[in-house]
Structure 1
């Protein structure tokens, strides 16, 4: 018995002496070729990359050796090659001297030159800038692109059902690569505009002290200081808007009004219920007063609506809006410096071209612009043809009669929706149905409700009250509420 036990113990001992234990104790990862490690790093996002290279000496050493390759791979996986010039211009614009028109013009000219190369070349890397890439640069571009992807998905989900209803079609919920490019490009152009002209407008508003005027004369002086000179407006149009096709600017208008609708959900809620905003008499009903202020908030770029969308607390909404509100939302002043005015002038300034184009058999070829993307902006595409039908009679891309078709993102989609006369009839049928916020017959009643709430909240404020006011049960209709509204012909 004892002999058998000793035998088993000996066998166990022999089994434990496996050949593996005789190998050197070196982690297997050190055996990987550095090219494979660099490829692995290039498959990460910027946040994961930073934590990975700090987690192991091999990753850190490989990144130091192949830094440009790794960062280039991350960008090329994230951003479509055609959009890389816009993505880098948006990043550069965050720190550009917006008072130097030569710098602005050079930046925007580089976008158009690199854009032509990126669109026409099979090599994705041609869209990359000649300057060395840094982790900070890639992280900043990635942050903007993630926001743009989020809003692209949300806009698509909202717009396609409306497009199907208006044009009596059944286009799929998924979007094609060309449709996605148009939407992504419009959001990038919006952010680029905010990084240049938006920062300038915000700084001008702060310098003009718009938030605390004392007399009526000071109010008008502040507005004058914050408005654009004719020379600045012309430069802005020449460098930013006119190089693009008119329907590409209409795509920008679609994005602009979509983002205004996103902000309005939170703006209207705070304006209708916050005690301090009631004391300040912040208007959320009268379009001629309230709309310019909400639009001024958009100068802060995509970050503000994105943070609002990802916050669930009323106090956070108010804090975000207050911090962005250098234009003085609650003072009853007109803030006339908005992207809307520039978008309007981008067409109105060339109204003669539109009118001549109506009688030109090649119309809208004459309005394609030097920044047109082949296959995306051609005059034969559905966006160009629908733009012609919807905007031919008007001098503004933001004409209110076309609000519903912009809500449907009508200049983003491919396909066929009918003959011109039939399409015109459908556009006209929905032109006066709904102005995007309130039905006209609701405004007088809601204005009375708003003024009564101002009186009540002002009294609460003067007595030391703060926070959310729940006395008013009326829920003010907003773009969020109107998503499910039935669109009727009228």
Structure 2
């Protein structure tokens, strides 16, 4: 009678290829010696599984993020070479898949799963905002086109790549943020995609950390700001710098103590300020006061020559033009008052979708502030909480504080069991 161990290797490998996620591969290999033997004869199946999980145009970014995480030596030359390969010969990264060990492929699959979750979350929340806007004609449900999905994913991968490359800047201090090769192949509407993804990550971080940062006595003693946005909030930048997996773990953590432990684990970590990098214009742009409205699309194509792999759909460009037409080149990315547009993912949608739902009008009428910006109304309350929590800390108290409620404060006598 035929047994599992007698299944021909060709069939077994065909079965393994159907795994929907590379993280299922290792458990599968442990089920039977025959399965493992078949895999040893066909190790390339691991890369094939990952390629079914991650879109082809995203694979080079996935490999680049992995290599950036382990880059050694980490210096100007190695960083430049990695980015040069990604931007001019991305197929080389795809070719390297078959040499990557299974545990690292599993890590790549995990990061893509995180980015997929963030992509669907951001797209859904942005579409909900558009649907709720006054006069919105957007449909209630959203199905992303392949090109829209790729834009969202690529933006999060670019954020992650920046953090992986520059979080440890000991040997890279001579590289000015705004002059680095990292941004050189990205037209301003793609930088706005990156800025929008960064805003969304900050929003998710703000929501996930709020209960701890706004109520914990120790965090109040440290005066950790839970309201100020962008580069003016040191601790937010530190936590954002830890990358998408850190933020996703914080979002997924259900317990107060777990969230606090995760936030504190980054206190001694390295940081880099991507907001500052995005908001610092190239020197060549500083003396150009010609507004965007004076540029034709052909002018922009001459300024930002398209690459072979560049997105050709004009939806992102159309959305960006609505927002930046009055502004000169030095202000073509990350303007603070456009946060509500970034919240609506205005530079991610296909042109067909923009035209069908008349989204240019929606972009023109977007609210003045995003959810992050609206939190500024609570600044006085935050400062008062610092004073109250510091008073408790100085007396030896710790734990969870709420305004006019100290019932959850732990005092030294309670800790000692007296």
- The TM-score with structure 2 as length reference comes to 0.84
Give the equivalent residue in structure 2 for 1:162. Answer: 129
Say if 2:47 and 2:98, in contact at 8 Å, map to a contact too: no
Say if 1:86 and 1:189, in contact at 8 Å, map to a contact too: yes
State the 1:46 CA deviation. 3.3
Give the equivalent residue in structure 1 for 2:148. Answer: 179
**3-state secondary structure, aligned to 1:82:** coil
Tell me how far apart the structure 2 counterparts of residues 289 and 417 of structure 1 sit (CA, whole Å).
31
Tell me how far apart the structure 1 counterparts of residues 239 and 250 of structure 2 sit (CA, whole Å).
12
Give the equivalent residue in structure 2 for 1:43. Answer: 18
Moved over 6 A (4+): 422-425
Say if 1:355 and 1:392, in contact at 8 Å, map to a contact too: no
Give the equivalent residue in structure 1 for 2:402. Answer: 470
C-alpha spacing 1:272/1:289, structure 2 compared with 1 (3 Å): farther
Query: Aligned to 1:135, which of 96, 102, 105?
Result: 102
Query: Aligned to 1:326, which of 268, 275, 285?
Result: 268
More moved, 35-44 vs 137-146: 35-44
C-alpha spacing 1:290/1:427, structure 2 compared with 1 (3 Å): same
Q: What count of residue pairs does the alignment treat as equivalent?
A: 396
State the 1:146 CA deviation. 0.7
Q: Does 1:194 align with 2:163?
A: yes
Q: Does 1:398 align with 2:334?
A: yes
**3-state secondary structure, aligned to 2:175:** helix
Give the equivalent residue in structure 2 for 1:5. Answer: none
State the 1:150 CA deviation. 0.9
**3-state secondary structure, aligned to 1:55:** coil
Say if 1:453 and 1:472, in contact at 8 Å, map to a contact too: no
For each residue in 1:106-130, what CA deviation from the matched residue of structure 2 results, as whole angstroms up to 9, or x when unmatched?
1111112333x59xxxxxxx93327
C-alpha spacing 1:439/1:268, structure 2 compared with 1 (3 Å): closer
Query: Aligned to 1:95, which of 70, 79, 90?
Result: 70
Give the equivalent residue in structure 1 for 2:319. Answer: 386
Say if 1:250 and 1:411, in contact at 8 Å, map to a contact too: yes
For each residue in 1:8-66, what CA deviation from the matched residue of structure 2 results, as whole angstroms up to 9, or x when unmatched?
xxxxxxxxxxxxxxxxxx55223322111011122233333212222211101101100
Give the equivalent residue in structure 2 for 1:269. Answer: 211
**3-state secondary structure, aligned to 2:295:** coil
Tell me how far apart the structure 1 counterparts of residues 123 and 101 of structure 2 sit (CA, whole Å).
33
C-alpha spacing 1:195/1:434, structure 2 compared with 1 (3 Å): closer
Tell me how far apart the structure 1 counterparts of residues 132 and 391 of structure 2 sit (CA, whole Å).
47
State the 1:159 CA deviation. 0.6
**3-state secondary structure, aligned to 1:436:** helix
Give the equivalent residue in structure 1 for 2:190. Answer: 248
C-alpha spacing 1:425/1:83, structure 2 compared with 1 (3 Å): closer
Structure 2: gaps spanning 5 or more residues: 406-418
Query: Aligned to 1:291, which of 225, 229, 233?
Result: 233
Q: Does 1:373 align with 2:342?
A: no
Structure 1: gaps spanning 5 or more residues: 1-25, 119-125, 205-227, 329-334, 474-490
Tell me how far apart the structure 2 counterparts of residues 280 and 141 of structure 1 sit (CA, whole Å).
36
Say if 1:245 and 1:371, in contact at 8 Å, map to a contact too: no
Q: Does 1:232 align with 2:150?
A: no
Tell me how far apart the structure 2 counterparts of residues 34 and 302 of structure 1 sit (CA, whole Å).
38
Tell me how far apart the structure 2 counterparts of residues 48 and 30 of structure 1 sit (CA, whole Å).
20
Give the equivalent residue in structure 2 for 1:306. Answer: 248
Q: Which of 1 and 2 has greater Rg?
A: 1
State the 1:264 CA deviation. 0.9
Say if 1:98 and 1:197, in contact at 8 Å, map to a contact too: no
Matches within 5 A, 1:57-68: 57-68=33-44
Say if 1:241 and 1:346, in contact at 8 Å, map to a contact too: no
State the 1:288 CA deviation. 8.3
Query: Aligned to 2:53, which of 78, 84, 88?
Result: 78
**3-state secondary structure, aligned to 2:147:** helix
Say if 1:152 and 1:183, in contact at 8 Å, map to a contact too: yes
C-alpha spacing 1:54/1:459, structure 2 compared with 1 (3 Å): same
Indicate the RMSD between aligned Cα atoms, in angstroms.
3.0
Tell me how far apart the structure 2 counterparts of residues 269 and 342 of structure 1 sit (CA, whole Å).
29
Give the equivalent residue in structure 1 for 2:416. Answer: none
More moved, 452-461 vs 272-281: 452-461
State the 1:163 CA deviation. 3.0
Query: Aligned to 2:279, which of 336, 339, 344?
Result: 344
C-alpha spacing 1:352/1:472, structure 2 compared with 1 (3 Å): farther
